[in-house]
Chain A
Amino acid sequence: MTLIYCIENKGIARRLRILFILAFSILSQPIEAQEKLEREYRIAAEHVPEKAKSFIKATYLNAKAKWYREEGLSGFTLEAKLKWKGQRHSVEFDTLGNLQDIEIGIKFEEVEDIARKQIETHLQTNFQHYRIVKTQVQLKGSSAQLQRIVGNQTRETTEELIINYELIVKARSSQDKISSFYEILVNKQGEVIKLSKIVERAVNHLIF
């Protein structure tokens, strides 16, 4: 049964209204600005340089790409995201349409043996427990070379081709009070190039 009461008859309602206004005004005070320095947003294909679109069309044939523009500390980049032969590909270009790299979602088991063992050793040494959430192989090289690799699904190993692996790991180090997410970039030999802790976005609007 729903209980209803008339506020005019209740002094408590007036107090509540004051409390509500007070809470709102206190909490509306300016807060310390803490802008995220990276952001990405979807863009239409017509805003993408012809050079980048041509690469995607030639490499991925009829695959449908979604285009994103990323703003970061080092400037702007363009990214085409698409599915190709059951894998997620992320192709990054500069604003002139020059190819930067290709990231391909893979299983951790697909990482080359030498790198995989090295990564596992690093994780076991630095974390009390860990779980690999996401693995991507990052390919850097000439457009023609990357086009051949994507087309033939072969991993050419020439000096110009740079292969890195990017991992998202849920782990807890001895300094952590709770498990955290880490982004780890390693080279082909499994040596760590970069390790950063991921700051998760707020979830209070989803769980309370």
Chain B
Amino acid sequence: MKNHFLFGYFFLFCISSLRGQDRYQLGVIPQINNEFSLGDRYELNSKVEIRQLLKDGPSNLTAQKGFHFERSDFETILNRKLSPLDGVGVGYLLRIEEGKLVHRFIQQYAHVQNKIGFRLAHRFRSDQTITDNEWSFRIRYRLSFEKPLEGLEIDPKEFYLKINNEYLPTYAKKELDVEIRLLASLGYNLSDKMKFETGFDYRAEDIIAKNTEHQCWLNLGWFHSF
């Protein structure tokens, strides 16, 4: 019951943060995430994510153009495990957006901490994106909190709560800006190799430029390890 309230509050927070002239987007992000183990040391993570826009403002392009795929991402990261809970990775993302191709190069270090009754994950990432011959650079930090809803560890066929908070300073077109993301999701651990997650992902883009865009996405995730 407590979790229903949590999700309710989060949804209300997303809606209430949208004021008359603010730019906003509401939509759905389905995501498939697969992990392929390449021996003890390496693993390949592939992610397919397709954003579908349901409502936006103030331009209201969804009303003009109808059903939209905003963009599609295909990401692959080769991760080298330093231990079962640490890893460094390099990757590449191909984005298809308005028929254009966007290329992104990714480097990351991630560290997971096992605590009593919950886990924390720290992800430090940098990426370089090229769109129409223009480069943009980001440094990202994401803190994830995961808590089983039954017991002290997430066992098969159990639900869990996941909260992500990410900060993304961006340098593009000779300007610095920041994006902040907050995700609250409910997960179901079907087995040790498969998880489903759904939750709300709030994103505030262009915070320094004071032309902030608020985004609220319904996340649907499927995670699988081979």
* Interface assignment of B135: CB less than 8 Å from any CB of chain A: no
Other-chain residue from A16, A35, A42, A205 in contact with B33 (beta carbon distance below 8 A): A205
Interface string of B176-205 (1 = CB under 8 A from A): 000000000001000111110100000000
The answer on a CB contact under 8 Å between A201 and B195 is: no
On chain A, the residues within 8 Å of B67 by CB distance are: 7-8
Let me know if B151 is at the binding interface, CB within 8 A: yes
Q: Is B191 touching A35 in the complex (CB atoms < 8 A)?
A: yes
Are B96 and A12 within 8 A (Cβ)? yes
Please state if B82 and A178 are interface contacts (CB–CB under 8 Å).
yes
Known: A12-B96, A36-B192. A4 touches B225 (CB 8 A): no
The answer on a CB contact under 8 Å between A24 and B99 is no
- Contacts A41-B150, A205-B221 hold; do A4 and B61 have CB atoms under 8 A apart? yes
Give residues 176-202 of A contacting B (CB, 8 Å).
176-181, 200-202
**A206 and B121: CB pair below 8 A?**
yes
Q: A178–B194 Cα gap in the complex (Å)?
A: 24
Q: Which of A10, A36, A41 contacts B151 (CB 8 A)?
A: A41
| A179: contacting residue among B32, B65, B82, B152, CB under 8 A | B82
Q: For the complex, would chain A's binding face be called helix, strand, loop or mixed by DSSP majority?
A: mixed
Contact B40 A5 (CB under 8 A): no
A73 close to B (CB within 8 Å)? no
Interface string of A15-44 (1 = CB under 8 A from B): 010011001100100010111100111100
Interface size class of B (residues with CB under 8 A): 35 or more
**Closest A residue, CB atoms, query B41:** A177
Q: Which of A13, A181, A206 contacts B144 (CB under 8 A)? A: A206
Per the bound structure, the CA–CA distance linking A196 and B4 in Å amounts to 40
Contact B65 A205 (CB under 8 A): no
Residues of B within 8 A of A88 (CB): 116
A41 touches B69 (CB 8 A): no
Given A4-B65, A5-B98, A24-B32, does the pair A204, B45 have CB atoms closer than 8 Å?
yes
Question: A3 in the interface, Cβ–Cβ < 8 Å?
Answer: yes
B25 contacts partner chain A, Cβ-Cβ < 8 Å: yes
Give the residues in chain B near A23, CB-CB below 8 Å: 32, 48
Given contacts A23-B32, A34-B192, A205-B33, contact A178 B121 (CB under 8 A): no
Asked whether B152 lies within 8 Å of A40 as measured between CB atoms, the reply is: yes
CB of A207 closer than 8 Å to a CB of B: yes
Give the residue name and chain of the B residue nearest to A24 (CB).
B32
Known contacts A41-B158, A201-B153, A206-B144; A4 and B56 CB within 8 A of each other? yes
Q: Which residues of A contact B47 (CB under 8 A)?
A: 208
User: Which one of B83, B146, B152, B153 lies within 8 Å of A206 (CB-CB)?
Assistant: B146
B155 engages A39 (CB within 8 Å): yes
Q: Is A144 an interface residue, CB under 8 A from the partner? A: no
CB of A116 within 8 Å of the partner chain: no
Which one of A40, A41, A200 contacts B84 once the chains associate, using CB atoms below 8 Å?
Answer: A200
Set of chain A residues within 8 Å of B35, measured between Cβ atoms = 202, 204, 208
- Whether B213 is near chain A, meaning CB under 8 Å from some CB there, is yes
B226 shortest CB reach to chain A, Å: 8
Chain A, 118-167, CB within 8 A of any chain B CB: none
A193, B127: Cα distance in complex, Å: 48
Q: Is there a chain A Cβ closer than 8 Å to B103's Cβ?
A: no
Q: A16 contacts which chain B residues (CB < 8 A)?
A: 50, 69, 72, 96
A170 adjacent to B83 (CB under 8 Å): yes
Q: Mark B1-43, 1 if CB is under 8 A from A, else 0.
A: 0000000000000000000000101000010111100011100
A4–B26 alpha-carbon span in the complex (Å) = 13
Contact between B77 and A208, CB atoms less than 8 A apart: yes
CB of A114 closer than 8 Å to a CB of B = no
Q: Note all chain B residues with C-beta closer than 8 A to A41.
A: 150-151, 155, 158
Which of B47, B83, B97, B108 is most buried by chain A, counting CB atoms within 10 A of its CB? B83
Q: Within B140-154, which residues are at the interface with A (CB < 8 Å)? A: 144, 146, 150-154
* Complex: chain B residue closest to A206, CB-CB: B121
Between A and B, 7 residue pairs with Cβ closer than 8 Å are: A6-B68, A27-B32, A36-B192, A179-B84, A201-B192, A202-B193, A206-B112
